[in-house]
Structure 1
Amino acid sequence: MLQRILGTRAQRMAEPLPPRGVRITAYAVLFLLGAAVSLCGAFVQALWAPLGVLLAFGGTGGLFYGGLRLTGTKLGAGIPLAGWFAVLLVMMAPRPEGDFVLAAGLTSYLYLFAGAVAGVVCATLPTRSGPAFGVPPGDRQRAVRDVRP
C-alpha cells in the first residue's frame, strides 16, 4: 500500500524537476515551514506525552520527505531541517528568568534525536537531481563539457 502511495523508485526518478524559480520559492517556504513545525512540535511533544512525540515526529518526517519530493533535490529536505534546527536552538537556550521551552526530559531528547535522524535520512535519499545540489544531471554534464578546453 505504501508503494502505491509513494510510487516505486523508478517512477519517482522519472518525474521531471520543477522549474528553477519554483524550487527557489519552495526552499524559502520550506525553511519557514521547518521553523513552524519545530515550534509546534516542541509544545506538542511535551503536552501530550507519549503520543505527542509520535505526532511531532510524524510532522517533522513528513515535512522533510515532502520537501524532498516537492523539489526533487536533497536541498528540499535539508532546508526545512535547517529551519527546524534553528528554531530548536533558540528554544533550548535558557532565558534570563530561568525558563526554557525544551526541558531536559525523555520526550524532548527523543523529539530532538528522531527529528534530526529523519532529516538526515531524507536528505540522503536518492533524488532526481543527481549528486549536485539542485542541478539536473544533464545540465551538470553540459556545464562540465563547456568548461573543458
Structure 2
Amino acid sequence: MDDARTGGRAARIGLYGLFVVLGALVAAAGALVQAAWFPGGLLLSLAGVVGLFWTGTQLMGGRGGVAAPAAGWLITVILLTTSRPEGDFVFGAGIGSYVFLLGGMVGAVICATIGGFAQPGAPAGRLGK
C-alpha cells in the first residue's frame, strides 16, 4: 500500500511540474499572439490562459491545480516584461499587453475561487436527500 501511495505522489508531483511548464509555454505564446492579432489574439491568449488554469483545477482537484500553471505563467511573464540591455522586450506599452497581464491574474484568481471543490469531511451527496 505504501508503494502505491508513493507512486501516486510521484505522479502528482510530475503533473504539477508539467503544469508549471505548460503555464510558461502558454505565457510565451500568449505574449506573442496577443500583440500580433489584436483584438482576436488577445481574446485567444486569454482563453488559453484561463483554459489552462481551469483544466489544472479540475484535474488536480484543488487550488494547487491553479497555482502550478499560474506560477509558471507569472514567472515567464515577468521575465518577458523585463527589458534587456539591448532595449528589447516582448511586451509593448499598448493596452493589449496590460489586459493580457491583468486578465491572466484575474483568471487565476477566479479559477482558484470558483473551482467547485468538495469540502473536506462533507458528504458527497446533496444535503437534502
TM-score range (shorter-chain normalised) is 0.7 to 0.9
Structure 2 unaligned spans of 5+:
1-7, 122-129
Fraction of identical pairs, as percent = 44
Structure 2 CA distance for aligned equivalents of residues 100 and 122 of structure 1: 29
Give the CA deviation at 1:81: 0.4
Q: State how 1:35-114 maps to structure 2 within 5 Å.
A: 35-114=24-103
Q: Within the alignment, does 1:127 sit opposite 2:85 as a pair?
A: no
Q: C-alpha offsets along residues 1-49 of structure 1, whole Å, 9 cap, x if unaligned?
A: xxxxxxxxxxxxxxxxxx4333222111000000000000000000000
Deviation at 1:127, TM superposition (A): 1.6
Paired positions, count: 113
Runs of at least 4 residues off by over 4 Å: none
2:117 partner letter: T
CA distance in 2, matches of 1:102, 1:72: 33
Alignment partner of 1:23 is 2:2 = no
Gap runs ≥5 in structure 1: 1-18, 131-136, 139-149
Supply the distance in 2 between the matched residues of 1:127 and 1:23 (Cα, whole angstroms).
17
TM-score normalised per structure 1: 0.72
Q: Aligned-residue CA RMSD in angstroms?
A: 1.2
Q: TM-score, normalised by structure 2?
A: 0.83
What is the alpha-carbon distance in structure 1 between the residues aligned to residue 64 and residue 27 of structure 2?
18
State the alpha-carbon separation in 2 of the partners of residues 61 and 20 from structure 1: 26
